[in-house]
Amino acid sequence: MTDTREMARAERAELAALLDSLTPEQWEAPTLCAGWAVRDLAAHVVGYDLKGMTGFARTLVRAGMSPDRANRRVVDDLRDLDPPRLVALVRRYETPQGLTAQFGYRIALTDGAIHQQDIRRPLGLPRAIPPERLRAVLDFAMVAPPVRAFVRTRGLRLVATDLDWSSGRGTAEVRGPGEAVLMAAAGRADALDELEGPGVATLAGRCGTA
């Protein structure tokens, strides 16, 4: 089995390649994260790597212990960087450091995978996430507090139809491609049309702004 460090590195390498292929207009296009353009998500993915654990703690304190405000500060700190320099940062931190390296690199892997889809879906640039990587992301997303998937999927049973993965003991099932299950569980309503089952309506009601 490929370890999560290598999967996180592969995810960031693919993100860098995607970003490097985008036009100036695409860099300014909206993503599935409300209020954030592609350039904002690129900055967010590696922003905490630059700060290290001490910088992360300092940023969180200055943001009044609000993760949302801390994330905004991290993005604003990189506001002056142009696309080539942002891509260079993603490549520089292909091996995650600091906060994103925690939990065996699962933070970087999960955050990177979800945010790459946040960019790709609105731009109409789908990809096939390698099954082993997608399974690892699904597992961690279900327990990671920032993703809040465990809140949205409470009482539901999630089943990926394209890989050997399921989660939850509820009687109301949600079925569909693993990538769509991941994105809906992470609050992205954009993926709901790709899912089926009696639990979809409940999940849809819990999908707010990402």
pLDDT in tens, 100-140: 999 999 999 999 999 999 999 999 999 999 999 999 999 99
Q: Is 145 exposed, middle or buried (0-12, 13-18, 19+ CB in 10 A)?
A: exposed
**Angstrom distance (rounded) from CA 42 to CA 93:** 12
Domain map (residue ranges) of the chain: 4-123, 131-206
Q: How confident is the model at residue 210 (pLDDT cuts 50, 70, 90)?
A: very low
Average pLDDT, integer, range 191-202: 97
Beta strand 156-160 pairing with 172-176: parallel
pLDDT in tens, 57-75: 887 788 788 878 888 888 8
Q: Which pTM does this prediction carry?
A: 0.93
**Angstrom distance (rounded) from CA 168 to CA 165:** 11
Does domain 4-123 match CATH 1.20.120.450? yes
Mean pLDDT score of the chain: 94
Q: How confident is the model at residue 2 (pLDDT cuts 50, 70, 90)?
A: low
31's CB contacts (< 8 A; 6+ apart) are 37, 38, 40, 41, 115, 118, 119, 122
Closest CA to 81 of 45, 55, 114: 45
Decide if pLDDT at 55 tops 70: yes
Do 126 and 120 form a contact (C-beta atoms < 8 A)?
yes
